[in-house]
Chains A and B, each alone.
Chain A
Amino acid sequence: MKNKNLNPMYGMPSEVKYCTKCNVTNQTPTTTNEYEHDKNTQQIPIEFDENNVCYGCNVNEKKWNGKVDWKEREKELIELSKKFKNFKGQYNCIVGGSGGKDSAYQSHTLKYKYGFRPLTVTWTPHIYTDIGWKNFQSWLHVGGFDNYLFTPNGKIHRHLTRRSVINLLHPFQPFIMGQKNFSVKMANQMNIPLLFYGEAPSEYGTKLIDEKKFSTKIDISHPGFTLDSIGSTKIEDIKLGGETIRHHIDQGFTLDDFQPYIPIDINIINEKKIENHFLGYYLKWVPQENYFYAVNNTGYEISEERLDGTYQKYASLDDKIDGFHYYTSFIKFGFGRAMSDSTMEIRNGHITKEEGLGLMKQFDGEFPKKYEKEFFDYISMTKIEFIELCDKFRPENIWVKKPNGWELRNPPWEYFNK
């Protein structure tokens, strides 16, 4: 392969391949420890087995092929509910979420089917879409939940988003950090002993130490999968937006400005014995079924038309920045929104591999026009500056510049037709 001499970036393999089953690219990074993430970070790519099948497919396969005894798993959930049934306090668990289809399904099932007493907590999107705000409200008013909504200081959040874009081409990083830690912090403050997350990240190809929950230890081979993202690093030395907090403070910010993004001390989690569990371990996680469930039970509504860069209109629609999260991932990894949606739907049997190829060919890389003005205002950048910046993040093993613009060197729909 001539591609072998072309340099990859971000720790990805030099030869671009696609999963035989779901078409996902081998340039897909698994979950990263964002607190160490800077320009030089080498991320861990998704694993392909000897048959070129990705780890995500192999995990999902177990979900469907009868090897997981879902009746047994449900019993484990019922045991868990018994364990916390008599916990003294108004709430006995926390469900973090936006009121989208997944958190709606999670919280509603836990409360109304399994008898948990959830408090829902929400870390706000960068910029709410109208439909996102409506769904958030319906979740509470139609679905029936108590909720704390946290909105971080908008000036700081914009600053970090801009730095994440400039340094990492990663506009979603501040949201990821905030959201991941907010639930745990609320569990601590409200003295609630149990946290639920949604599907296990292994469904998208990240290897887990424990398939039931986030680890509370540092593990170098699973850097994104721990609640202890800091270890013994000094607070000033952890990174936000690809730069150390010390650096931000030198620019005139204060340590307090960044508290919402800084993880909770792991000793507190351990001392208080705060448990965290993936609901996807206990109940089979089927994204389209979550959609139907949310429409029926929490008044969930979908986008009026398909979302930029993809064919669907039912998922990931509450933040005006969503489209740019997927677009930047397409630039850095060749992993666009249609790839993200179609590979997930293929792994869950909703569509076929051939359909996925057609969808990526049609939609991947489409520029997220709908909210571009808000986004560029938000990060104080012009579209021209942004496009020029994107070009610096394009690995040469993925991209080639043609007279008409950038093209994927070896797109999946051609890769499989050779």
Chain B
Amino acid sequence: MIKRILSRIDIKNTFLVKGMHLEGLRVLGYPEFFAQKYYNENIDEIIFQDVVASLYKKNNLPSLIKKISENVFIPITCGGGIRNNDDISKLLINGADRVLINTGAVNNIEFVKDAVRTYGSSTIAVGIETQKIDNKYKVFTESGRTKNDIDAFEWIKKLQDIGVGEIILSSISKEGTGRGFDLDLNEKASKVCEVSLLAHGGAGRKEDVYELFNSTAVNGVVIAAAFHHNYFSELLKKKEISMGGSTSYLNSENFINNFSLNIKELKKYLKSKNISIR
């Protein structure tokens, strides 16, 4: 089976931001430059996640996606603040191929059922943000801010029962750290999950990605910080960036850049290890 390599681009207002453990709003640049670059480097797909949409109850993605999808011809998934079919339609009309729902699904599962009926399974993905609390993986919403008394694996079962086409599983404790994947989580999830499962959170070295594919049955990997670190200095337009995120990182001269991955090199490495990829 072919494993998919996706990049995730977190959005706040018009910026690409990156946190750690889904916290912090370090601005790394503009999403359109990163998307274009990743497309040129042969990334398989891109996920755009508005990380403050649920918090501020607004969604800035449609106009951004419209612009980006004019030049980027790979599957695009959009998430952040999706609460009803209108939100979904707006994204699809503007160029998204699929939507990603998290908070909206936990708050109202009926909405997801309806969305699956209306748009089809392959258009509806659900994001699960999770970390271990008292030895159990719990489901979090609002970009990792709110804990719900829902077991992550039970949640996966429920979602696939109602026809959700794909699960994107984010490990909060690994997210943004580059310290490797939570293999225990991904292995357990892939045993339960009968639909497509993508692992997010922890990619730092190419070996991490190989280990993930070698020891779990996930269908793909979602990588954010490691790719951003590799490309952001060439994509930097720092003079234009002013307010609305932590920009001092951009203006400091010594970036704390302790892990990074190049898309082409990662793919080459995985092929050399007999992982089937595009």
A residues in contact (CB < 8 Å) with B: 284, 286, 288-289, 291-293, 295-296, 301-302, 304-306, 311-314, 348-352, 355, 358-359, 362
A304 contacts B133, C-beta separation under 8 Å = yes
Chain B nearest CB, measured from A343 CB (Å): 14
23 contacts between A and B (CB under 8 A): A289-B26, A289-B246, A289-B248, A289-B249, A291-B20, A292-B249, A293-B256, A295-B20, A295-B21, A295-B177, A296-B256, A296-B258, A302-B21, A314-B23, A314-B24, A348-B246, A348-B248, A349-B244, A349-B245, A350-B25, A352-B244, A355-B52, A355-B244
Chain A residues with Cβ below 8 Å from B20 are 291-292, 295
B2 within 8 A of A: no
Determine the distance from Cα of A63 to Cα of B249 in the docked complex, in whole angstroms: 14
Determine the distance from Cα of A288 to Cα of B256 in the docked complex, in whole angstroms: 13
Interface residue total, chain B, C-beta cutoff 8 A: 30
B131 within 8 A of A: yes
Question: Nearest 3 CB-CB pairs, A to B?
Answer: A306-B145, A288-B246, A305-B147
Determine the distance from Cα of A293 to Cα of B20 in the docked complex, in whole angstroms: 11
A304 contacts B131, C-beta separation under 8 Å = yes
Given A291-B24, A305-B145, A358-B56, 4 additional A-B pairs, CB 8 A? A292-B256, A311-B55, A348-B246, A352-B243
Known: A306-B146, A311-B145. A350 touches B245 (CB 8 A): yes
Chain A nearest CB, measured from B221 CB (Å): 22
Chain A residues with Cβ below 8 Å from B34 are none
Determine the distance from Cα of A24 to Cα of B245 in the docked complex, in whole angstroms: 19
Chain A nearest CB, measured from B8 CB (Å): 18
By CB atoms of chain A within 10 A, which of B21, B25, B142 has the most? B21
Determine the distance from Cα of A286 to Cα of B248 in the docked complex, in whole angstroms: 8
Known: A304-B131, A306-B146, A311-B55. A292 touches B244 (CB 8 A): no
Chain B residues with Cβ below 8 Å from A351 are 25, 244-245
B242 within 8 A of A: yes
Chain A nearest CB, measured from B118 CB (Å): 30
Determine the distance from Cα of A348 to Cα of B133 in the docked complex, in whole angstroms: 32
Chain A residues with Cβ below 8 Å from B21 are 295, 301-302
Determine the distance from Cα of A306 to Cα of B24 in the docked complex, in whole angstroms: 12
Chain B nearest CB, measured from A295 CB (Å): 5
Partner of A350, one of B56, B146, B246, B258: B246
Determine the distance from Cα of A67 to Cα of B105 in the docked complex, in whole angstroms: 48
Closest A residue, CB atoms, query B243: A349
Chain A nearest CB, measured from B55 CB (Å): 6
Closest A residue, CB atoms, query B256: A296
Contact with A along B9-30 (1 / 0, CB 8 A): 0000100000011011110000
Closest A residue, CB atoms, query B177: A295
Contact with A along B227-257 (1 / 0, CB 8 A): 0000000000000001111111100000010
B140 within 8 A of A: yes
B249 contacts A349, C-beta separation under 8 Å = no
Chain A nearest CB, measured from B234 CB (Å): 22
Closest A residue, CB atoms, query B25: A350
Chain A residues with Cβ below 8 Å from B56 are 355, 358
B23 contacts A302, C-beta separation under 8 Å = yes
B244 contacts A304, C-beta separation under 8 Å = no
Partner of B26, one of A288, A306, A314: A288
